[in-house]
Amino acid sequence: MKGIKIVIALLFINGIIGCHQPGKKEPLKDDTKPKIDSTVVFTLQSAALDKTVSLPGELLPNEKVQVYGKVSGYVKKIFVDIGSPVKQGQVIAILDAPEMQSKIAESKQRLASVKAKWISSTDVFKRLAEASKSDGVIAPTDLEKAKNQVASDAALVEAAQSELNAVQQTADYLTLRAPFTGIVTKRNVDAGAYVGKAAEMPLFEIEDNSSLRLRIAVPEAMTGTKVKDEKVQFTIKAIPGKKYEGKLSRKSGSLDVNTRSEVWEFVINNNDHSLKAGMFADCKINIQRDGKSFFVPFSAVVTTLEKKFVIKVQNNITSWVDVGQGVNATDKAEIFGKLDEGDTLVLKGNEELKADTKLLVKIAKH
């Protein structure tokens, strides 16, 4: 009985100790405020545009002409072929048109006839004028009539002479001559062929390749720039390892509505005739712009279907500023808009960052 009491006492004491044993600690509440992410910004700075751009170009002859037969006839003789060098005024072919000689003969006969009539009427007028010096011999109306006849016949002589000159000038078209010094690049006719028909191919093509025109289509964004020293350097795939140079000669002054580009033309000296018209060139142009420009990282420019803009931050409040884009540098874009040097812009802009949003900003490290 005494042992049972001892066991019960031990169990009672153990239960009391278990009730007073400290339990697990409850987690402490985190009273710290949620962390706000900062937006990276940068300070806008101006810089001069000085960039070398690569553009494709095409070499064209300085002068090019297609020679047609101005009158109908048969090719009597040809003096040149493709590759033949020619001088200005040199005869390259002769045409034959027998009916032209008949027209010349008719015109000469007509001129001789009216000239004889004019000589006769002039002689009559002189005799009447001499006789009219005696009173009552020649009526004044007869003298006036003879005078008018002389004037009429003189007009016919002038008309016949003009007709003969026109026929002879047309006959000169039977001799085809080179309009300038150059080289024959095409020949599409042989001796004996009939020429002068409508819509026929040109008989010859002649090009002046002593100097060439390098024509480059410059994108609209670059048309407001200038070329450093007005020079271009280019290479030709057909002539590897050799660099050529040309000088800016002219600009078209208008944009092609399809390509949104302006044609710039450079003059290339080609006295050694190593370059050929029709070759394509890989061109490098160093372009510059008067005054300063703003260049920003590509990520700062937000492009939508309606516009392009950057996000400006002033007093930690955002605003959208519309911009136009100019020439792209290696890692930056040239922009234009209502901006000033020293403005703060968001480095990585996006449409979700609306205007009038308050930000915690962080200056980007250069």
Residue 345: which CATH number? 2.40.420.20
Distances (CA, A) of 229 to 217, 222, 245, 249: 19, 16, 12, 12
State the pLDDT at residue 32: 47
Interval 230-262: pLDDT, tens: 999 999 999 999 999 999 999 999 999 999 999
CATH number at residue 189: 2.40.50.100
pLDDT higher than threshold 90 for residue 6 = no
Task: Clarify whether residues 143 and 248 are in a common domain.
Answer: no
Q: Quickly state the pLDDT bin for 299 (edges 50, 70, 90).
A: very high
Task: Clarify whether residues 257 and 194 are in a common domain.
Answer: no
Tell me if 135 is assigned to some domain: yes
Task: Clarify whether residues 321 and 268 are in a common domain.
Answer: no
State the pLDDT at residue 25: 47
- How far apart (Å, rounded) are the C-alpha atoms in residues 97 and 32? 108
Tell me if 229 is assigned to some domain: yes
Task: Clarify whether residues 88 and 157 are in a common domain.
Answer: no
* Cα atoms in the 13 Å half-sphere on the side-chain side of 201: 9
Q: Which two tokens stand for residue 183?
A: 């080289």
Q: Quote the number of domains for the chain.
A: 4
- Name which of 136-140, 200-204, 283-287 the model is least confident about: 136-140
Task: Read off the pTM.
Answer: 0.70
Task: Clarify whether residues 185 and 159 are in a common domain.
Answer: no
CATH number at residue 161: 1.10.287
pLDDT higher than threshold 60 for residue 168 = yes
pLDDT higher than threshold 60 for residue 28 = no
Return the percentage of the chain with pLDDT > 90, whole number: 60
pLDDT higher than threshold 80 for residue 182 = yes
Domain of 87 in residue numbering reads as: 69-97+174-201
Task: Clarify whether residues 73 and 196 are in a common domain.
Answer: yes
Tell me if 162 is assigned to some domain: yes
Tell me if 359 is assigned to some domain: yes
State the pLDDT at residue 14: 54
Average pLDDT, the chain: 87
Task: Clarify whether residues 107 and 160 are in a common domain.
Answer: yes
The one-letter code for the residue type at 321 is V
State the pLDDT at residue 366: 60
DSSP class of residue 307 equals -
Tell me if 239 is assigned to some domain: yes
Task: Clarify whether residues 117 and 82 are in a common domain.
Answer: no
Q: What is the average pLDDT across 8-33?
A: 49
> Where in 220-363 does DSSP place strands (E)?
226-227, 231-236, 239-256, 261-269, 280-288, 293-297, 302-303, 308-314, 317-328, 332-337, 344-346, 361-363
State the pLDDT at residue 15: 53
Q: What is the average pLDDT across 66-90?
A: 94
Q: What is the average pLDDT across 343-366?
A: 89
CATH number at residue 278: 2.40.30.170
Task: Clarify whether residues 104 and 166 are in a common domain.
Answer: yes
- Residue bearing the bigger pLDDT, 42 or 329: 42
Q: Quickly state the pLDDT bin for 338 (edges 50, 70, 90).
A: very high
Task: Clarify whether residues 102 and 168 are in a common domain.
Answer: yes
Helix extents (H) in the chain: 2-19, 98-131, 140-172
Tell me if 238 is assigned to some domain: yes
Tell me if 23 is assigned to some domain: no
Task: Clarify whether residues 197 and 260 are in a common domain.
Answer: no
pLDDT higher than threshold 60 for residue 31 = no
Domain boundary among 239, 265, 288: 288
Other CB atoms within a 10 A radius of the CB of residue 31 amount to: 5
Distances (CA, A) of 267 to 246, 250, 306: 5, 9, 41
- How far apart (Å, rounded) are the C-alpha atoms in residues 4 and 196? 145
Domain boundary among 249, 266, 288: 288
Tell me if 22 is assigned to some domain: no
pLDDT higher than threshold 90 for residue 2 = no
Task: Clarify whether residues 252 and 345 are in a common domain.
Answer: no
Domain boundary among 155, 172, 189: 172
Q: What is the average pLDDT across 152-156?
A: 91
- Name which of 39-48, 141-150, 197-206, 216-225 the model is least confident about: 141-150
